[in-house]
Amino acid sequence: GISGQPWESNPGHPDLVLLCSGSHDSMSFDLDVNSSIVEPDQLRRFSRFCCVRKLMFRWGTTQEVNIKEQLDAGVRYLDLRIARKPKDPDPNRLYFYHGLYTRSDTVFRDINEWAELHRKEVLILSVSHFKGFDKLAATLHNYLIHFIKTLFGPKLLLKTDKPILKTCWDQGRNVIVSYDHPAYQQSALWNKIQYYYGDSMERFFVCGLNMTLPSDRRILKYILRICDSFPSVVRRSLPKLLQWVQQQNRNTPFNIVASDVVTRSGFVPTVVRLNGKPLKG
């Protein structure tokens, strides 16, 4: 089974400058193999072929369990990539995507229910991408922001608040929403959360352990393996990536480590154990 400890509610950590675990492409467990292909652009014209969609499904599914199970396992940062289906009869219905669209559009309510039941656990939601918003950008952004603010209400930690656990607990605010669009910033939404990759040496907020397949013909080396899948590739690589995180943590202060297949290879316990370890000065 999957279980996580409510480590963020530990009173020994009064500051929200903790190292927490996150899931990359958090909604990819819910991809709809019958949907059209969203990206990459080179494959969109092949959406009508079931075999191509199945390949996309197998290599786009980077998480294996649903959002509640991710949260129960100890994940506190969710990477939520928003999209609108171009021919959806409901003008305000939004989905998530990673190569394909997801089946569910209700995950925000699931997150809110979990946050309501775990008031001392602080969640960080990165809302980004907004695929298919172009023609109705203002309408869709305003709708989504209003929905988020109405749903989470007083649980939202404002951008003007000091992000420490004591403030969150005292005010009953345990949800931080980062909205990745500069034109729609306001006090209830935090700015874009910066992502850090292994080839950058600058200070960062999120350290990404996600694997990226080649964008050229070398991708065929992976996707044509009939008995393989993206989660399998990540599972084989994750132990070495976690070793890299432990080495980096000795010298560089970071806040979030986001990964694929977060419930495997001891990812969450490894990240949580890094809290409290002294940094080199």
Bridging pattern class, strands 20-23 and 77-83: parallel
**DSSP bridge pairs for 71:** none
**Annotated active-site residue in 13, 24, 146, 181:** 24
* Strand blocks (E) in the chain: 20-23, 77-83, 95-98, 100-101, 123-131, 175-179, 195-196, 206-208, 256-259
202-206 contacts at long range (C-beta below 8 A, 24 or more positions apart): 203/252, 203/253, 204/252, 204/254, 205/254, 205/255, 205/256, 206/22, 206/77, 206/126, 206/254, 206/255, 206/256, 206/257, 206/258
- Kindly name the residue from 13, 98, 129, 181 that is annotated as catalytic: 98
Asked about 98 being catalytic, the answer comes back as: yes
The answer to whether residue 13 is catalytic is no
Active site positions, annotated: 24, 98
